[in-house]
Chain A
């Protein structure tokens, strides 16, 4: 079945440093979504990428979807303590039925030292 691998599992950075998490799928994805989960909280939707090679920005966050639609990345520029949390990618393989379900990566837990 479809697998979504995410690395690294943990990342510790000094405030102001950049951070990147990578997501790779074993199959071509129809779209990929990114979620953030604050400590003790629930996952919250950040963004959805659909097109091959797509790049989207949200302030200091840059999201990319690979040309082959099998990989994606989230890059945070100049991290702040408010960025602390676990970032998940979630891929959808197909359209409808069980293939309409999102398969989550295991997440990257980001800690930021002030």
Chain B
């Protein structure tokens, strides 16, 4: 199993450009999520999904869109990139169901710079 795969690893955008960060997992996990990591800010939840066709907002959703058409894929779209979106983005998945959150499996991250 490859686990959680994120592409690209690095990306540089100009302000106003759009792009999609890809995330795929091969563990048949129902729950998938996107976090951004900024220095001194920890990991902040952007969007999450508990299954195909279901998405919801996290703590910092503005400027980002997601969709979940399949169990395996959970792309994150930046509609009009801004310098404030310069960050490291992590996709994470886990088994859903049950009362307690099972451990998150993280991808290797995408380092995004917006100039």
**A interface vs B, CB < 8 Å?**
1, 6, 9, 30-31, 33, 35, 41-45, 48, 50, 88, 90, 92, 95-96, 98, 100-107
Contact = CB atoms under 8 A, between A and B. Distances in A.
B45 interface: yes
B51 interface: no
Contacts of B100: 30-31, 48, 50, 92, 95
Contacts of A43: 43, 90, 92, 104, 106
Contacts of A42: 90, 106-109
Contacts of A95: 99-100
Contacts of B35: 104
A105 B37 CA distance: 11
Given A42-B106, A42-B108, A42-B109, A102 B101 contact: yes
30 contacts: A6-B42, A30-B99, A30-B100, A31-B100, A33-B101, A33-B104, A42-B109, A43-B90, A43-B104, A43-B106, A45-B103, A45-B105, A48-B100, A88-B42, A88-B43, A92-B101, A95-B99, A98-B56, A100-B101, A101-B33, A101-B45, A101-B58, A101-B101, A103-B59, A104-B35, A104-B44, A106-B40, A106-B42, A107-B42, A107-B43
A48 B103 contact: yes
B74 interface: no
A44 B106 contact: yes
B90 A101 contact: no
A79 to B, nearest CB: 22
Residue from the set B35, B104, B108 with the largest chain A CB neighbour count within 10 Å: B104
